[in-house]
Structure 1
Amino acid sequence: MSMDSASGWPFMKMHGLGNDFVVIDRRQGGAPVTAALARAVGDRRRGVGFDQLAVIEGDPDVAARLTFFNADGSISGACGNATRCIARYLMDETGQSGLSLRTDRGILTCEDAGNGLTRVNMGQPLMKWDQIPLGKDVDTLHLPIEGDPVACSMGNPHCTFFVNDAEAVEIEREGAAIERHPLFPEKTNVQFAHLIGDNHLRMRVWERGVGVTLASGSSSCAAAVAAARRGLTGQQVQIDLDGGRIAIDWREDGVWMTGPTAHVFDGVFSPEAM
């Protein structure tokens, strides 16, 4: 899809387990995507609405370069579900069964997992306080925050709480407060999870710059890493999110995420909506 801001911005609407995205393909050039455009498109009443906006651009060394915006116009360093959806789109476009994508997180390997599923290596978690980053040197396995959460980065900061019942958490209040906790200078994504079986978690998500979402790929990776670090699970975990189930496998070469994708519709965003 080519893009001309005078006539509008062609886009694709996709989702992974209800975590929804607007995707703009700039491989053929066109006007740059700005924070103002992201906020306008992200308005669910006056725009299109999304949890994240993803921009596809050309890259000489891999299939494409991806950049992610949150609904508030801020940049997100990683978006696992959007990466998975775009990987599926590009594999279908090229007939390939695997490819690599460049993000701020690094180069991510993607592959067809069979049965309509797509698998992405989200890379290794960053677990040192200054890599996440945190505001001071603390134990990332036991943060000095009520509820004893775990922190890591999967390209963006994550804070995972293990609770008795994720359904009972007042996520709008608790998530918003932790997102802006002073220990996280760049704010944080927040996960609330409980164990429902062997290597099986139930989890709810508050995304930085977005709010409550039905699913999050990078949050699922972070929660699986946190559970394994705490000894609650092994390194292969099933996670039930509000939008459905995702599989996480923390291997020596990175955290692999496997799940479904959906390309819902295509459209053109009018400049009159700006």
Structure 2
Amino acid sequence: MNLEFAKMHGLGNDFVVFDGVRQAVELTRERIRAIADRRFGIGCDQVLVLEPAERSGVDFAYRIYNADGGEVEQCGNGARCVALFAREAGLTDKDRLRLETLGGEIMPRILPDGRVTVDMGVPHLEGADIPLSEPGEWVRAPLEVAGERRRITAVSVGNPHCVLEVEDATAAPLSTLGPVLEHHPLFPNRANVEFVEVRSPDRIRVRVWERGAGVTLACGTGACASVVAARLWDRVGPRAEVELDGGNLTIEWAGPEEPILMTGPAVITFRGVLGQWPASRPATAGP
């Protein structure tokens, strides 16, 4: 089976993107993990599949799989990439698209300078909507984590996020605290974790532990959730530049019941053909 794909990235958050409109794409958890493997496969943070829309008024559906093989609800950097992919692949000539995901509809718009703005919808703060195992809103709420009390803010941007303010994002304990919070009982579907350093009323520095992928250079929904949280803390205004390890995103959020707008780049790195599924990682392979 030959499958055409594109390797893409948004600020270093990288993807293998399949056209599921013109070719049949059959993925299993094992196949996704093999594709995502950076030594034995193509290598990526997520695998994205663009598919025909199931509902009228929607241009395409797209599915998102993390490197561990699990399907997830939303991916902001992925949304920018699949919008550009659809146009570059000749699947549409539109600059504005409506995409259907497990986390709801999103609306990307390709700008003349090649960047993409995505209407990510209205963020959710209620525990039942994120979801959380506890009711109510969690804004700077104390949470017992690894024997310490941490103040966290929980936000859904179509997927669950746990946001913490830190003095120095560069020194944030991503690899130690990130997985603990990802799997904390408060988050029944696990969580993406953001460590936020507020630098000014219109600029924040964010580092990300991404659910199912670990430390990533950028996370679009994480940037959105971080600005929402910082607004709720009265630390930033309605528009903020978000500095991620892979580059910057511009996030706009006017406040409760208003949609989030995310603007940033999308890049096609190369195209290829998957002639056979990558071999599984050998049991004797090193770390």
Report the TM-score range of the alignment, normalised by the length of the smaller protein: over 0.9
Q: Is the 8 A contact 2:133 2:188 kept in 1?
A: yes
- Residue range with higher mean Cα deviation, 129-138 or 115-124: 129-138
**Structure 2, unaligned runs of 5 or more:** 144-148, 280-287
CA distance in 1, matches of 2:193, 2:84: 27
Per-residue deviation, 1:112: 2.3
Q: Is the 8 A contact 2:108 2:119 kept in 1?
A: yes
The aligned residue for residue 235 of structure 1 is 238
Kindly report which structure 2 residues correspond to 1:1-274, keeping only aligned pairs within 5 A, or say none.
7-59=1-53, 61=56, 62-92=58-88, 93=90, 94-145=92-143, 146-251=149-254, 253-274=258-279
TM-score normalised by structure 2 residue count: 0.89
Q: Is the 8 A contact 2:31 2:277 kept in 1?
A: no
Per-residue deviation, 1:155: 1.3
CA distance in 2, matches of 1:161, 1:218: 15
Per-residue deviation, 1:97: 2.0
Per-residue deviation, 1:88: 1.8
CA distance in 1, matches of 2:14, 2:244: 14
Q: Is the 8 A contact 1:41 1:269 kept in 2?
A: no
Q: Is the 8 A contact 1:91 1:98 kept in 2?
A: no
- Residue range with higher mean Cα deviation, 108-117 or 21-30: 108-117
Per-residue deviation, 1:253: 4.5
**Structure 1, unaligned runs of 5 or more:** 1-6
1:55-77 alpha-carbon deviations (Å, 9 max, x no partner): 11011532211000000011110
Aligned residues: 268
**Structure 1 272/70 Cα, relative in aligned 2: closer, same or farther at 3 Å?**
closer
TM-score normalised by structure 1 residue count: 0.93
**Partner SS, residue 83 of structure 2:** helix
Per-residue deviation, 1:181: 1.1
CA distance in 1, matches of 2:137, 2:158: 19
**Structure 1 143/261 Cα, relative in aligned 2: closer, same or farther at 3 Å?**
same
